[in-house]
Structure 1
Amino acid sequence: MSGDDAGQASPVPTAQTPALFTGPRWFIPSALLHELDPDAGRPGRRPRRTARDWVVDFACFFVAVLLGAVAIEALSRNPQVPDGLAVVDQVMGALACAAVWLRRRWPLGLAVALTPVSFVSDTAGGAGVIALFTLAVHRPFRYVAWVGGVNAALVPLFYWLRPDVDMPYLVSVVFAVLLTVAIVGWGMFVRAKRQLMLSLRDRARRAETEARLRAEQAQRLAREAIAREMHDVLAHRLTLLSVHAGALEFRPDAPPAETARAAGVIRESAHEALQDLREIIGVLRAGEPDDAGRPQPTLAALDTLVTESRAAGMKVLLQHHVTDPAAVPSSVGRTAYRIAQECLTNARKHAPGTEVTVSVTGAPGDGLTVCVRNPPPEGEVPPVPGSGQGLIGLMERATLAGGRLEHGPTPDGGFEVRAWLPWS
């Protein structure tokens, strides 16, 4: 009975729901509360018995009837019990056995009702044992202590009024008290085991939910990183397109060689931009970073970036003072490259025609410093929509790398971006 009964949740009335645990009500998780009380929040509805419930309930009813039959046989051998009283005893025992089917709906009420019935009827003793066990399984100890204590206290009086013909009085009392304690202990063990299993199940559900949330958060962070890469790469490529297209528009009388060179830069930049965009969209569709794409740029690619900017007509002065460029970590070098790339793009948009100075210094243990500075532009430069978003992305990128980034105007009216990245 313990193995079957332990796997069943106790459907109890809503009014008894706070008594599922001896601790405070707020400590019960909602999933665990639902497992212990399937009818919670559904007042007035009868619990639905499953096939297993019917088997367990029938087994309990059979045990109660079997114990009642044993008591009938004992009554027939007891000369102190008149025949009329024996008939009444059997009728009360039959009603008590029938009431066992109500043990799931009213475990406390059934146990309380069968306590006096079991006291006056021998054949109702089996039903009383089943009711006490059910109470220990489905209710906290404070209810079990009261009902079980009353049952144990009535044992000496019961055997004093109806002595057993086979055992001495003291042996009968001790045996009945020990049986009551064993039934209560068995029921409490089943209840504790059920609560443990439900708690472990609830923890497993929470762990699965947390793992799914962590995976979603990691995917979201990866997509944000891809978005930053898209901004950095495409902004640089499209700025080159804009500069050369503007040169062709305002200088239609340019020499054929210069026109061909500008058209080649436009074609190459457009091709690179489309390839970068295709790769990024492919990663977004796949939902995870693509390790099979082109290698990410590092600090060694800074010379190529400056060469491309100079080919676009910019005046760029590169000051490279790194003791051991090959020893720069790839993540730090990639961050430094993206900072320089975004700064050159901004200088091309906001300070066209000026000479931009890119300075990279650092050593292991001291960190890597990237400084991009440009003087004020000549004449008035029209405002560019969306200005400032790139600098916000650079600050986030530097912070994620464990460094810091500062930017602002210089005393002569120019602009400077200075970043420091850790290099251990």
Structure 2
Amino acid sequence: MPAPSASPWITPAVARLRTANPYVVDIALAALVLFAASLQWMFPDEGDDRLTWQGFLLGAGTAVPLVWRRRAPFLAACGVSVFTPAMAVYHAPPPDIMYGGLVVLYTTAAVGRPWQRRFMLVGWLAGVSLTMMHKEDAQPFEYAFQLLSCVSAYGFGVLSRLQRAYTAALEDRARRLERERAADTARAVATERAGIARDMHDVLAHAVSLMVVQAEAGPVVVRSDPERAEGVFDAIAGAGRDAMVQLRRILGVLKEEPPHGGSDRLPQPGVAALAGLVRQVGDTTGLRVELRRTGEPRPLHRDTEVAAYRVVQEALTNTVKHAYASCARVELDWTETELTLTVTDDGRGPADTAPGGGEDGSTGGHGLIGIRERAAACGGTARTEPGHDGGFRVVVRLPVAGDRQVAPG
């Protein structure tokens, strides 16, 4: 049988006290202390001195300062500390229990400064001992009771202060964790947006470049070679369809609820699809593209596979758009630790590129920047340079699955 719980009204009452106006609570507390102190003369013991108006004022002096215990805790404690021994010495009535003193000791220990806490604790212990010496027939247990009462009230105040500090630390930690979580979410969103932007740039730039080249050749061959013109238009339509398929895959990740097998939405082409890419570029643009492989292929992480495909795709797109080349060569060099991708053309080279490896807008712009970002995201490197026999060359090194180290940031 479960143990009986506390009365159902206690918890709501404590909650209401914590949320109530503090000054109203302090006024009620002062009235309660004054009432408790008045019980001694309302129901006097046999032989006690009769109440005088001076004694009542001294008793009120131990309660009224409690109204300001939050606004001026140390001053309120000093006031109670003065009236309590005066009431004991005057002895009309004598303070059997120091109600006001216990409250100010608790308050000082809970909210006072360190020196105020030490001053009040030592002062009250010394004051209680000296006051008991003036009491007639004071028993040893009375010394112990009064001193333990002071220490207990002070101890409860210390516990309250520690609890508030602990709660504040937990709340601060929760706020910091929330800020860190929000920052992590913002970084993840920014990273995802940058990845989607790179994918869309690569897909659209490649497809549009092929379509533009074919569209420019169309009017030339439509009159002289109608059969070839039909092939040109088929190539334009094929490039457009391929771009639509890949855009659907990219934009699928933006939907809130992925379908079964949601990974199919992600861009799928990898190293195995490079042969098809090379063939497509050669068939649709007339550029002679050669694919060479050396070394033993090794497994790559999925995003590294996609990055390898996109890097070659962007490099060939830049060749078609800017290099005015007649041929290009794609080389895949496998080693035990990395895959080196090299795309070389025989075009006009980097003579008109801006310093820094061709990130000028007239020679690839965001495309070359995207190549570097893709390589860095997979833990690899990328560089652009003139070809050995002229032209332009892009060299990208990507780690294989067992040696991958993602770049920080």
TM-score (norm 1): 0.78
The 1:328–1:176 alpha-carbon spacing in structure 2 relative to 1, beyond 3 Å, is: closer
Question: Residue 131 in 1 paired to residue 100 in 2?
Answer: no
In 2 relative to 1, CA 362–350 (structure 1 residues): closer, same or farther, beyond 3 Å? same
Alignment of 1:6-405 (within 5 A): 50-51=19-20, 53=22, 57=26, 60-61=29-30, 63-72=32-41, 77=46, 81=49, 83=50, 86-121=52-87, 122-123=94-95, 125-163=98-136, 165=137, 167-168=138-139, 170-277=140-247, 280-281=250-251, 283-284=253-254, 286=256, 291-293=263-265, 295-312=267-284, 313-324=286-297, 327-363=299-335, 365-377=336-348, 385=362, 387-405=364-382
Q: 1:60 offset after TM fit, Å?
A: 3.1
Query: CA 1:210 to 1:381, structure 2 compared with 1: closer, same or farther past 3 Å?
Result: closer
Shift of 1:405: 1.2
- Give the direction of change, closer, same or farther, for the CA distance of 1:149–1:405 in structure 2 (3 Å limit): same
Contact 2:287 2:325 in 1 (8 A): yes
Q: 1:215 Cα deviation (Å)? A: 1.5
Q: Quick check: 238-247 or 153-162, which moved more?
A: 153-162
Q: Which amino acid aligns with 2:164?
A: R
Structure 1 match to 2:356: none
Give the direction of change, closer, same or farther, for the CA distance of 1:295–1:230 in structure 2 (3 Å limit): closer
Report the CA distance shift for 1:136/1:111 in structure 2 as closer, same or farther (over 3 A): same
The structural deviation recorded for 1:279 is 5.1
**What is the CA–CA distance in structure 1 between the aligned matches of 2:363 and 2:315, rounded to whole Å?**
15
The number of equivalent residue pairs is 375
SS at match of 2:126: helix
The aligned counterpart of 1:15 is none
CA contact (8 A) 1:234 1:276 kept: no
CA 1:281–1:324: 2 relative to 1, 3 Å: closer
Q: Is the 8 A contact 1:219 1:288 kept in 2?
A: no
2: CA distance between counterparts of 1:151 and 1:5? 32
User: Shift in Å at residue 386 of structure 1?
Assistant: 6.4
CA shift at 1:64, angstroms?
Answer: 1.5
Contact in 2 for aligned 1:68/1:93 (Cα 8 Å)? yes
Deviations for 1:207-254, whole angstroms, at most 9, x for unmatched residues?
A: 122112212211111111011111111111000011001111344433
Equivalence for 2:3: none
Task: Quote the Cα distance in structure 1 between the aligned partners of 2:100 and 2:72.
Answer: 14
1:326-357 CA-partner distances (Å, limit 9, x unpaired): x3443332221111111111111122341101
Distance 1:56 1:239, change over 3 A: same
**What per-residue deviation string (whole Å, max 9, x for no partner) do you get for residues 356-413 of structure 1?**
01111204x23111111111349x9999746332111111111111111121112432
> Partners of 1:4 and 1:160 in 2: how far apart?
44
Q: Which of 383, 389, 392 is 1:412 aligned to?
A: 389
CA distance in 2, matches of 1:381, 1:155: 94
5+ residue gaps, structure 1:
10-48
Report the residue type matching 2:213 in the other structure. Answer: V
Structure 1 residues 62 and 276: CA distance shift in structure 2, 3 A: same
**Separation (CA, whole Å) in 2 of partners of 1:386 and 1:362:** 29
Residue 63 (structure 1) shift = 4.8
Q: 1:402–1:360: structure 2 CA closer, same or farther, 3 Å change rule? A: same
* Aligned-pair CA distance for 1:77: 4.4
Aligned-residue Cα RMSD (Å) equals 3.4
**What does residue 4 of structure 2 align with?**
none
Contact map agreement 1:398 1:405 (CA 8 A) in 2: yes
Q: Relative to 1, partners in 2 of residues 1:381 and 1:241: Cα closer, same or farther, differing over 3 Å?
A: farther
- Aligned CA distance change for structure 1 residues 252 and 357 (closer, same or farther; 3 Å): same
Paired residue secondary structure (2:393): strand
Task: Give, in whole Å, the separation in 2 of the partners of 1:184 and 1:53.
Answer: 21
Residues 336 and 357 of structure 1: CA distance in aligned 2, closer, same or farther (over 3 Å): same
Contact kept, 8 Å, 1:6 with 1:194, in 2: the verdict is no
* SS of structure 2 residue aligned to 1:253: helix
SS at 1:405's partner residue?
strand
Paired residues of 1:136 and 1:184 also in contact (CA < 8 A): yes
Instruction: Tell me the distance in 1 between the aligned counterparts of 2:142 and 2:105.
Output: 19
Aligned residue identity for 1:321: T
Measure, in 1, the Cα distance between the counterparts of 2:218 and 2:361.
21
* Contact 1:358 1:372 (C-alpha < 8 Å) held by counterparts: yes
Please, which runs of 5 or more residues in structure 2 have no aligned partner? 1-10, 88-93, 354-359, 403-409
